[in-house]
Chain A
Amino acid sequence: MPKEKFWRNSALVKPYALVKNLPHYKNLKIIFYITMLFLYFAIVLIPPALCSSREEAESAIQSAENTVLNCYKAVFEAEKAGADVSSLLQVLNEASWLLSRARVAYNNGDFNSAYKYATNCTQMLDGRVDEANSLKLEAENARRMDFLVNYVGSSVGAVAIVVGGYAFWVFLKRRGKTVEA
């Protein structure tokens, strides 16, 4: 079969056939090929994450805001219990910077960047609430121990020394009287 005839008969190459039917419009042919090529690369190469809509970006920012707030509340409680939260605060500050960038990107209409920053923020804080809670528990245990040793132990010890000292003093006095007698 001649090559020309094959192309015309083949159902698989209909777009090509369409172009072939328009031999006089060479510019149209070129535009057609470029469009097809562009569509192909657009579908294959652009990842789905870069196609965020306004709603997705807004939702991601809202989620990140809630995560930041929950993490802050957990850190707040941990610090109140006496835990060292400096490393957690550093992470929180880094994450909140990403959230700030997400808000700016969203206001500028760059929803892809907004979504990306907000998602990164949420990921950065993943598991930090649990970490803060465990720090809080540790701090509470340490505080209990501190109370036992420094409040109870210390005050009871001081009272024991005074009472013991008095008892020993009475004992020495009685012993002295006995020796004199």
Chain B
Amino acid sequence: MRITEYGLIYWTVVGVLALLVASPFLSRVLVYPRTEFFTELWILDENHRAENYPYNITRGQNYTIYLGIGNRLGYCAYYMVRVKFRNQSQPAPTSFGPIESRLPSSLPSLFNMTAFVADEQVLEIPITFSFNYTWDEQFSKVELCGLRLNGVWLNMSKCTLSWDADKKAFRGFLFFELWLYNADTNSFKYHGRFVGLWFNMTVSV
């Protein structure tokens, strides 16, 4: 029996063994690098679905939604969620185009929530809110007094909603802007994302 006749089998076995031993090294080296770094932001209804969002609001009644943040930035991120409210004529933030050119709403925030999310992790914040408002029948407008958000009373006395004849509603938009902490500037910068819900403030006639 000549050993050279079994050369192919021998070297195949040696090669497979070498690959097996080298597999931990190869699994770390031959990984396609992450090229997309971004943050996900969403709102779900009280059943964790994107179906039954509150729309018709009754004064003083509690509503629950979930605000989700998914971190795909490649590092543990420090976010700030700015809660704002606007009527149809007030400025909205932008969320299209290059992130650098997107702008937040110039309205003052009612409340700032900070959130720390590890890389590749998701944080879901339950938000329970209720509105307090009055109806000015004479001028056909709704004057907002305040918003109770997760037990914190927020003053909204400067906000009014006029009657929307097209939608037949007193419409207001509660939205959540996402800001990201920048360690270089030691400040928060608008992260180019927001989510929100339109509401109809119902009034009893």
Nearest-Cβ distance from residue B37 to partner chain A, whole angstroms: 15
CB of A38 within 8 Å of the partner chain: no
Contact yes or no, B115 A151, CB < 8 A: no
Interface band, chain B: 35 or more
* Complex interface: stretch among B10-18, B49-57, B166-174, B195-203: B10-18
Q: In residues 1-33 of chain B, which contact A (Cβ within 8 Å)?
A: 2-4, 7, 10-11, 14-15, 17-19, 21-26, 28
Which residues of the partner chain B approach A23 to less than 8 Å between Cβ atoms?
none
Which residues of the partner chain A approach B111 to less than 8 Å between Cβ atoms?
100, 104
Residue of B nearest to A104 (CB): B152
CB of A21 within 8 Å of the partner chain: no
CB of B116 within 8 Å of the partner chain: yes
Contact yes or no, B118 A79, CB < 8 A: yes
Contact yes or no, A103 B113, CB < 8 A: no
With A154-B25, A155-B22, A162-B14 as contacts: A89 and B116 at CB distance below 8 Å: yes
Nearest-Cβ distance from residue B27 to partner chain A, whole angstroms: 8
CB of A93 within 8 Å of the partner chain: yes
Residue of B nearest to A79 (CB): B76
Q: How distant is the Cα of A89 from the Cα of B79 in the complex, in angstroms?
A: 12
CB of A18 within 8 Å of the partner chain: no
Nearest-Cβ distance from residue A156 to partner chain B, whole angstroms: 9
Instruction: For A172, give its contact among B3, B113, B116, B123 (CB under 8 Å).
Output: B3
Convert B63-99 into 0s and 1s, putting 1 for each residue whose CB lies closer than 8 angstroms to a CB of A: 0000000000001101000000000000000000000
CB of B159 within 8 Å of the partner chain: no
With A72-B78, A85-B118, A158-B22 as contacts: A100 and B112 at CB distance below 8 Å: yes
